[in-house]
Structure 1
């Protein structure tokens, strides 16, 4: 049995040299006993000189794996690495086999070491220990990693803090950076390192970045395990911050503005300049709190159009631009509607245009606000306003665009593709022509959009033709139904 005792400093380079020599001499893994330092030496083995063999080339992937695994705390790490190196002689693609138990174990060990190194770079806290008359500032830190990784992690600190002298002490080893030179020394135990002026800065910084509204204790402890807390000056604040998190989150919610102040001030000023009408409808709508949608929207968006319009056009809800401008159908869907309506001779200014839901529902994505469809409860609450608009206008025909409008007016959005182009009656007898919503057309792939837009255009043409044939006195009698209603096939 050959015993190889690796040094505590320069362990990786020593293991690589020994492993290459053993492999070159044909020494099998079961004939080698590995150890690191005197603490790991086997009392029952005899040290023998390492045989000299022919130079052996190894893959870059194996070297990178070994460079991490040698710093794992598992006492069998050197033997496992050498066993895999021995197997690679006949199985060159073994490292790529994720199902191999030997490879899987070593990769997990490498991942553990890599994670431990990341924790060390995040949680080492230096304290200043300047000596009187020193030309360079000097700092020291104590850290307790899970694995003996100081030699692996120290180059990061040498690169990051190259303008000062420092020492990092661990239970396994110590590192010293002096005048630009990094050296390692045996462990000396935990030294007495007092607090410095930066301690309070750390606590102030941590207190200000702590967000009680996003507190997840288990996730925080996974990222900042409690084993590191005793060496972190800010950790003393954690119990207090956790205990008061709920109260602080509630206070933040109460203090948060319900609208972006500058933008809202300008928009609401424009809204206030809009005449409220003879019954204060617009003014009352802006104060609506019937459902939660008012809280996130900029403003309510009322319908607009002549008070004696024979046609009412009902869409889904305001979009981003409608929410900002306070007017219905001014965004991309409204522009598509205008273009198709112009082709069939339907004049929008002669119709009353509104939405089934009066507030914009959205999900924030960075600076963008992505549209969300209203749910059944929100549609039902806002139907109260749509019914008021219908009562004031008493339209002769309603053009319902999209599933939300169909649900609000008829009680169902089911099978809209089959119902599109047909006329349904409300309880008071008002005819409702169902069609697509323009925003639906905009979302379709180019291959499908042509046919769908043709159907939408046919529905608008049917609406325009019907309005031209409808005697005005029928509209003035309260929205009486026409004697004959043409279908898209008749046009």
Structure 2
């Protein structure tokens, strides 16, 4: 017996999942289902109206894969997904693995869908339309390779939430009005008015075009030619390519054989104009504010070159307890305040459990600049080395001199070294009092960032409890 059905243009994934669930619950094999709805010599029966007794269990990875593959334009996508579901239900091999022919094929379909959504986000061009209400209206025409309007429109709804817009495609239309996203049937290509900003963009595009660096294959890979007809800047490309060689020759002829005088890098001239600060100031600052102002211009080591700013301590200037961490993180570097990122939230939680508030303490770091390695858009934390800690000990010493805490809490190995000069392993020192280089007592504990990095939940809970215990002990020492 064969079964046949056709799925709707909208809400395709939910419709397929419901049909697949009913089919598998009745143990209907893949070769007995025609997902295209085609009518052959013998009419195919519809699927049962209700689910059968079998309840399949599938991994979440399959659901995620199906949510992507379902938007591909291949008519086989429904059948391929059901084959994978059938095999998963029967533990028949590894249909999600790319080592399996079926898994590899599904992965390629998902990859194509992801690439198509990316192209949609890059190449949709809106034109402003007349509006009757307070919200501006825009419209765009796009011709995706796959059925990616539904999954791709959420991006525009989030980015352009303050305006109304329509994206029309040959298959569906997405309409965003008054904050609500709806999908409707395909509509004819709208008549889009001229846009003055497109002329500005075309002028800019033509002027930044560098014929000496043109790579046609790379350009067509990032901007496939099938999208060119709907992009305002691409009408300029054929003419620019025709003139590319001549422009290269003109650039060579106009190029200087020798740098003109005064062509030094801007950064070199800028640094030369800055006041030269000695390694050690000739006179000690007389107040905490003067120390902070001097630290903002610190160039004692190279960390100031990449960091956004010096992150000075903050809190109660009359605090009996000073808490010293390692160095600012990404959040601290951007805000100029210590302990405001994830590690700061963990410390705040431990302080609340211990009965301490931020306005009772002075919070600072052993090193005042963020040391990091750039990785794409991220800045990955790097531990400061011995020389950097020793150079920054000058500023930490000033903070200790002006705050005059009765007790200092060192969070982590870098802070413990800065305060005591000892580099012994932290595990044996945690929770103990040591003599600081400033002749004051130093209590050693874990840094909150170390606690967050622990992958084992039990170890993480234990380390957080020990930090809280050390904070309670610090409070007890001060009260006693």
| TM-score normalized with structure 2 length | 0.51
Q: Secondary structure at the match of 1:141?
A: strand
The 1:46–1:221 alpha-carbon spacing in structure 2 relative to 1, beyond 3 Å, is same
The 1:41–1:170 alpha-carbon spacing in structure 2 relative to 1, beyond 3 Å, is farther
Structure 1 match to 2:13: 12
Larger Rg: 1
CA RMSD of aligned residues (A): 2.4
Q: Could you list the per-position Cα deviations for residues 189-221 of structure 1 after superposition, in whole angstroms to 9, with x for gaps in the alignment?
A: 222222222221231232133221111122212
Q: Could you list the per-position Cα deviations for residues 116-174 of structure 1 after superposition, in whole angstroms to 9, with x for gaps in the alignment?
A: 1111111111111123x321110111111111111111111111111111000111100
Kindly indicate whether residue 75 of structure 2 is the aligned counterpart of residue 112 of structure 1.
no
The 1:60–1:260 alpha-carbon spacing in structure 2 relative to 1, beyond 3 Å, is farther
The question of whether the paired residues in 1 share the 8 Å contact of 2:21 and 2:51 is answered with no
Write the distance in 1 (CA, Å) between the matches of 2:264 and 2:164: 55
Segments of 5+ residues of structure 1 without an aligned counterpart are 267-491
Structure 2 match to 1:24: 25
The 1:263–1:94 alpha-carbon spacing in structure 2 relative to 1, beyond 3 Å, is farther
The Cα shift of 1:252 comes to 2.6
Structure 2 match to 1:57: 57
Kindly indicate whether residue 228 of structure 2 is the aligned counterpart of residue 229 of structure 1.
yes
Pairs within 5 Å for 1:32-71? 32-35=33-36, 41-42=38-39, 44-53=43-52, 54-71=54-71
The 1:92–1:204 alpha-carbon spacing in structure 2 relative to 1, beyond 3 Å, is farther
The question of whether the paired residues in 1 share the 8 Å contact of 2:22 and 2:47 is answered with no
The Cα shift of 1:95 comes to 4.2
The 1:50–1:256 alpha-carbon spacing in structure 2 relative to 1, beyond 3 Å, is farther
Pairs within 5 Å for 1:73-152? 73-91=73-91, 94-95=94-95, 97-131=97-131, 133-152=132-151
Write the distance in 2 (CA, Å) between the matches of 1:169 and 1:118: 17
Structure 2 match to 1:391: none
Runs of at least 4 residues off by over 6 Å: none
Write the distance in 1 (CA, Å) between the matches of 2:234 and 2:160: 23
Larger deviation: 215-224 or 95-104?
A: 95-104
Write the distance in 1 (CA, Å) between the matches of 2:4 and 2:248: 61
Q: Could you list the per-position Cα deviations for residues 51-102 of structure 1 after superposition, in whole angstroms to 9, with x for gaps in the alignment?
A: 4034433212111211111111111110110011101123376145322111
Q: Secondary structure at the match of 1:108?
A: helix
The 1:46–1:192 alpha-carbon spacing in structure 2 relative to 1, beyond 3 Å, is farther
Segments of 5+ residues of structure 2 without an aligned counterpart are 266-480
The 1:47–1:21 alpha-carbon spacing in structure 2 relative to 1, beyond 3 Å, is closer
The Cα shift of 1:9 comes to 0.7
The 1:66–1:96 alpha-carbon spacing in structure 2 relative to 1, beyond 3 Å, is closer
Q: Secondary structure at the match of 1:174?
A: strand
The question of whether the paired residues in 2 share the 8 Å contact of 1:62 and 1:95 is answered with no
Q: How many residues align?
A: 262
The question of whether the paired residues in 2 share the 8 Å contact of 1:68 and 1:110 is answered with yes
The 1:203–1:27 alpha-carbon spacing in structure 2 relative to 1, beyond 3 Å, is same
The question of whether the paired residues in 1 share the 8 Å contact of 2:211 and 2:247 is answered with yes
The question of whether the paired residues in 1 share the 8 Å contact of 2:96 and 2:102 is answered with no
| TM-score normalized with structure 1 length | 0.50
